[in-house]
Amino acid sequence: MAKLYFYYSSMNAGKSTTLLQSDFNYRERGMDTMLWTAAVDDRYGQGRIVSRIGLEAPAHLFDSQTDMLAAISAQHDATSLSCVLVDEAQFLSEAQVWQLGGVCDRLNIPVLCYGIRTDFQGQLFPGSAALLGLADTLSEIKTICECGRKAIMNLRVDGQGRAIRQGDQTEIGGNDRYLALCRRHFVEQMQG
């Protein structure tokens, strides 16, 4: 039986790189995959999964209105899919996570989701919360804080590197806007 996987981490842990490597492994063996990424993330152009180390691939876009089960079912009917891979999974809705569970349960296709667990205030993203509750397998991808400890938090910073404490949950950015920190250094920055 196919499973729903959630690979989570803080920023800059290599989630997109890992996703692209998994996709390569399937394709190298002659298996078809379907890649997805959030329409809201346009840092590298629309419909692209891009890693910081230079790997990239085209991907389908999802937004809050996308019926993941219907779209994947239609593609599976046209080309038998061996795996579905979702980048920026924190931006999925709870309903979409249930739909991805349906891809596993009804279509027997494994779904590998990659995303950030919490936002810049330490709050769960809706997609991440649903995946933490519904995924068959949870795997943390680790990265390190500036002190060498495991980074589990995402600090949003302004142009001068100062912590931003308020704002919308979603603000797209990379190293220019976010730092991956351990909890201790995150709290120090947020209280400082």
Active-site choice (28, 56, 88, 94): 88
Active site residue 171: no
Nearest to 137 by CA among 113, 108, 103, 107: 113
- Residue in the block written with tokens 């890649």: 35
CA distance 96 to 100: 6
Q: In degrees rounded to 5, what are phi and psi of residue 116?
A: -85, 140
For residue 98, count CB atoms less than 10 angstroms from its CB and return exposed for 0-12, middle for 13-18, buried for 19 or more: middle
**Which residues lie below 8 Å from residue 184, measured CB to CB, with a gap of 6+?**
147, 149
The 8-class DSSP code of residue 127 comes to H
For residues 16, 124, 98, 44, the Cα torsion angle rounded to the nearest 10 degrees is: -30
Positions annotated as catalytic residues are 88
